[in-house]
Amino acid sequence: MKLLPVNMGRRVRFALSAKPGSKVFVAGTFNKWNPTANPLTDAPDSGQFKLAMHVPKGAHEYKFVVNGIWTADPKCTNSAPNAYGSMNSMLKV
């Protein structure tokens, strides 16, 4: 994840390695935890999924959804426990 400046928030780059052909999304407080609203793209079938999107200012929790399985961002060093007994990745914009 990399932050890029934008007014009233920032453009954030999300990235995740997964099996080529996977369906990868990012869900979090910035999109009301919608598991299919923000897909990452694999270019071209390399297994390196990426997405750049605007995220509003504030603290946000998020996870990747890979083929329907929720997973924390392995590159994110900040996390918080959630109500399901696992950890969410944390992002401050």
Residue 60, domain CATH: 2.60.40.10
Model pLDDT, residue 3 = 57
Q: Residue 77 is which amino acid?
A: T
CA 3 to chain centre: 12
Question: What pLDDT band is residue 33 in, cutting at 50, 70 and 90?
Answer: very high
**How far, in Å, are 74, 80, 81 from residue 19 at the CA level?**
15, 26, 27
> What domain count does the chain have?
1
For the whole model, what pTM was predicted?
0.89
Domain that holds residue 56: 2-92
Which tens digit of pLDDT belongs to each residue from 14-29? 999 999 999 999 999 9
Flag whether pLDDT at 58 surpasses 60. yes
Model pLDDT, residue 41 = 96
